Amino acid sequence: MTILATGLLGTAVLIAGVVKGNNHSKNLTVATTLAKSAMENFQRVGYTGLPATNSSEAENYNSITDYPLYKRVTVTEVDSPEAGMKKVAVTVYWDSDHHWVTLQTMISQ
């Protein structure tokens, strides 16, 4: 009976770990997709469609359609790393800012 109980307890711990890992993977995938979507939009509008000065824009929790558990922050740096270039970084947060993913790109004139 003790051996069976020990085996079942070990299995339960293993299943809990797998479920937690799957949940984290799902959240990471959604956050990466949200960041990539924003990046694709910035690449579509090009250099002139981006802010002309250094800026930061936030889409807070509950403001991204269909994704209320995520927050997206975009930072644009003008003339970075060199003149005629803009560096754009998109960070997507979830779990009350305990987890995040960041994608960066540079767009030139």
Domain-wise residue ranges, the chain: 2-108
Instruction: Please write the tens of the pLDDT for every residue from 5-16.
Output: 888 888 888 888
Determine the pLDDT at residue 79: 94
Q: Could you tell me where the DSSP H helices lie in the chain?
A: 2-49
Determine the pLDDT at residue 16: 83
Instruction: Please write the tens of the pLDDT for every residue from 55-77.
Output: 999 999 999 999 999 999 999 99
**pLDDT exceeding 70 applies to what percent of the chain?**
100
The predicted model scores a pTM of 0.83
Quote the tokens at residue 49. 């469609």
CA proximity to 23, closest of 102, 91, 99, 103: 99
Determine the pLDDT at residue 25: 95
Q: What is the mean pLDDT of the chain?
A: 93
Q: Is the pLDDT of residue 48 over 90?
A: yes
Contact 93, 73 (CB under 8 A): yes
Determine the pLDDT at residue 105: 95
Neighbours of 71 (CB within 10 A): 22
Q: In what order do the strands lie in the sheet with 99-108?
A: 55-59, 70-78, 85-94, 99-108
Q: Which of 4-8, 12-16, 21-25, 32-36 has the highest mean pLDDT?
A: 32-36
Contact 94, 100 (CB under 8 A): yes
